[in-house]
């Protein structure tokens, strides 16, 4: 355990983390980057087809069609649609489970911690019930009913939740989605062998999936979470590996489904659980946030400070979190849980428990969440974690990094908490934009990956470039974890902003980068955008607002991107999706989309050049608004 596994790790924007990982005596994803540096050119372009036994077929200048006759445009569009459908399915799985948990909580007359959100949803849905539990159940039923409709029956809530001018445009284009689960099913069917060969038709389906993903999987998941878990509250909080306290039994949580942890959260601070922890020499239990579910806990950390220690990092920080030796168990329930944690957990005797079978890890115990038996399950989890603690602590050496991160990251930002901070409406922000104190808004969203310069390298560099140009940045997703650990969400980061934005930040006591939390919170950014647009009386494409998923990673991010395009927003990517082998797909995404929805895809791996492009778009939008 004294020699590092190999110091050829990828670069990270987080230099203390990079040094820590470089010295580890175990392999991580950061070590494997170099070994996987040779990429398949056909895969990168999306022109490899594996759909039938004649293949895999690869399109080249000398072989312009596969054996069946499919050309590059068809193959690329099929592959892209399949990815969007898969990503959409992930988000729909999350909102379905969230709605089911709300329904069952209402039926059991359990705790509903977000009354304001409950009333807001009831008003949007047109539900009139005096009893809060009947109201909550009807809200959940309305969401579930839409999810389960056939593809040819339009979902009723889309029009109620989405921005009216966007709905009007979607109707004109014929892309209003039917039942969300059926849309995923249809998408998978459409891109199968010897079926659809029209790339434009398949790309239209991607927009339809983007809408159902965004309105249901993103926006409504957040609002349902708020009913069960309580509204986010602004506060300064610690982030990074420093949040790990070895005096406690530590449970790292990964995934996207916060409502699965509700009962366990409460049980961990019960006198009975604390007594069990003290009996084996610990002060109690702590949840250590990682990936998006950790970001969601961080949003609401003010509501349960006794059990939540803070957010340690994003998906590609998770291996380092475990390597500290102070994590006793991992609870996972969805993606962003890297397979690479499995050998580390084995080596360090860390207990793994999966709470959703879609996220089953090869060496983990499956304990699928069962609402009716949640209390019994929570007790079992506590006992298993205590057992792991007693077997490993004192045997596994600690390798802490207490100086990593910072103690004063601004958290708890949501559409509600930010609006309240501004006095209950968006006028102060609009006035700052009109006056030029803030040029515009950039949403830095999505994943973290180990390409595009390395771990969070492009994301952090682009963020610094944008704030230096007086463009305020709102974040959501694993990208938030890297940005916060690099200190850009502290009030002191105002010094890195341009002169006008710096003045605003210092006056308000805020950082130039505001963390909305998990990737699900892209839905919160959509709410902010639509409310500002409504106050100005314009459609979304008119706003001085740009998006960047600089280091997107997976299929969910592709579905997110389709939502952004359906909203009519410019979307920057540091790396192209696997579509460059199709002239049709490239032209539609980068140019043709402008005349359809108003959106466009911009590909650029350089932070400064990307910031130049995004700033120019913002200035053009300002000119269009005569400001």
In the predicted model, residues of the chain with pLDDT beneath 70 are 1-7
**Which tens digit of pLDDT belongs to each residue from 471-511?**
999 999 999 999 999 999 999 999 999 999 999 999 999 99
Domains 241-392 and 411-624 share a fold: yes
Q: Which residues are 253's β-sheet partners? A: 289, 331
How confident is the model at residue 2, as a pLDDT? 40
Q: What is the DSSP string of 74-128?
A: HHHHHHHHHHHHHHHHHHHHHHHHHHHHHHHHHHTT-----HHHHHHHHHHHT--
Condensed to tens digits (0 to 9), the pLDDT of residues 25-56 reads 999 999 999 999 999 999 999 999 999 999 99
Geometric angle at alpha carbon 315, from 313 and 320, rounded to 5°: 60
User: CATH code for 57-229?
Assistant: 1.20.1270.30
What pLDDT shows up at residue 5?
Answer: 52
The 10 Å Cβ neighbour count of residue 357 is 11
Architecture of domain 411-624: 3-Layer(aba) Sandwich (3.40)
- Burial of 50 per CB tally in 10 Å (0-12, 13-18, 19+): exposed
Strands of 126-244 (E only): list them.
235-239
CA–CA separation, 481 vs 491, rounded Å?
Answer: 16
Whether the pTM exceeds 0.95: the reply is: yes
Number of H helices, E strands in the chain: 27, 16
CATH architecture type of domain 241-392: 3-Layer(aba) Sandwich (3.40)
The DSSP H or E segment spanning 253 is strand 249-254
Residue 542: CB atoms within 10 Å:
16
Q: Where are the beta strands (DSSP E) in 291-335?
A: 308-313, 329-332
CA distance 554 to 534: 32
Q: Where are the domains of the chain?
A: 57-229, 241-392, 411-624
């Amino acid at each position: 355990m004294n020699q590092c596994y190999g110091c050829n790790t990828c670069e990270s924007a987080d230099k203390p983390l990079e040094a820590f990982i470089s010295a580890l005596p175990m392999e991580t994803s950061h070590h494997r980057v170099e070994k996987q540096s040779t990429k398949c050119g056909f895969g990168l372009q999306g022109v490899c087809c594996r759909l039938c036994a004649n293949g895999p077929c690869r399109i080249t200048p000398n072989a312009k069609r596969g054996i069946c006759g499919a050309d590059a445009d068809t193959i690329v569009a099929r592959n892209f649609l399949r990815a969007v459908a898969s990503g959409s399915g992930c988000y729909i799985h999350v909102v379905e489970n969230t709605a089911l948990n709300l329904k069952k909580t209402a039926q059991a007359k359990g705790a509903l911690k977000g009354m304001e959100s409950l009333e807001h949803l009831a008003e949007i849905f047109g539900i009139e019930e005096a009893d809060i539990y009947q109201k909550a159940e009807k809200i959940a039923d309305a969401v579930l009913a839409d999810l389960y409709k056939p593809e040819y029956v339009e979902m009723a809530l889309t029009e109620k939740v989405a921005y009216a001018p966007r709905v009007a445009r979607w109707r004109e284009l014929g892309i209003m989605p039917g039942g969300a689960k059926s849309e995923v099913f249809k998408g998978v069917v459409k891109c199968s062998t010897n079926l659809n060969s029209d790339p434009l038709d398949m790309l239209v389906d991607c927009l339809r999936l983007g809408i159902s993903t965004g309105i249901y999987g993103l926006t409504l998941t957040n609002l349902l979470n708020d009913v069960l878990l309580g509204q986010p509250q602004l506060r300064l909080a610690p982030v990074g590996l420093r949040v790990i306290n070895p005096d406690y039994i530590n449970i790292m949580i990964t995934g996207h489904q916060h409502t699965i942890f509700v009962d366990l959260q409460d049980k961990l601070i019960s006198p009975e659980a604390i007594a069990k922890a003290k009996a084996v020499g610990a002060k109690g239990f702590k949840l250590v946030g990682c990936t998006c579910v950790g970001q969601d806990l961080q949003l609401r950390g003010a509501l349960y400070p006794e059990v939540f220690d803070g957010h340690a990092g994003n998906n590609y920080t998770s291996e380092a979190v475990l390597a500290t030796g102070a994590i006793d168990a991992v609870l996972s329930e969805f993606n962003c849980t890297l397979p690479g944690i499995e050998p580390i957990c084995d080596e360090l005797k860390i207990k793994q428990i999966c709470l959703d079978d879609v996220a089953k890890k090869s060496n983990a115990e499956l304990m699928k969440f069962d609402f009716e038996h949640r209390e019994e399950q929570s007790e079992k989890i506590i006992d298993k974690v205590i057992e792991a603690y007693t077997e490993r602590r004192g045997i596994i050496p600690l390798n802490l990094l207490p100086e990593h991160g910072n103690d004063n990251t601004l958290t708890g930002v949501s559409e509600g908490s930010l609006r309240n901070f501004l006095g209950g409406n968006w006028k102060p922000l609009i006035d700052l934009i009109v006056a030029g104190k803030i040029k515009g808004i950039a949403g830095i969203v999505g994943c973290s990956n180990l390409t595009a310069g390395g771990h969070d390298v492009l994301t952090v560099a682009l963020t610094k470039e944008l704030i230096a140009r007086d463009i305020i940045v709102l974040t959501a997703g694993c990208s938030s974890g890297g940005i916060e650990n690099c200190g850009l969400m502290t009030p002191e980061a105002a010094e890195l902003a341009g002169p006008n934005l710096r003045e605003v930040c210092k006056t308000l006591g805020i950082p130039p980068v505001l963390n909305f939390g998990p990737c699900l919170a892209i839905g919160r950014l959509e709410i902010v955008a639509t409310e500002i647009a409504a106050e100005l009386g314009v459609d979304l494409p008119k706003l001085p607002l740009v998006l960047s998923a600089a280091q997107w990673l997976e299929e969910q991010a592709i579905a997110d991107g389709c939502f952004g395009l359906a909203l009519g927003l410019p979307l920057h990517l540091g790396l192209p999706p696997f579509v460059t082998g199709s002239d049709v797909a490239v032209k539609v995404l980068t140019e043709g989309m402008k005349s359809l929805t108003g959106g466009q895809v911009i590909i650029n791996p350089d932070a400064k050049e990307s910031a130049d492009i995004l700033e120019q778009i913002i200035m053009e939008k300002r000119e269009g608004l005569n400001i």
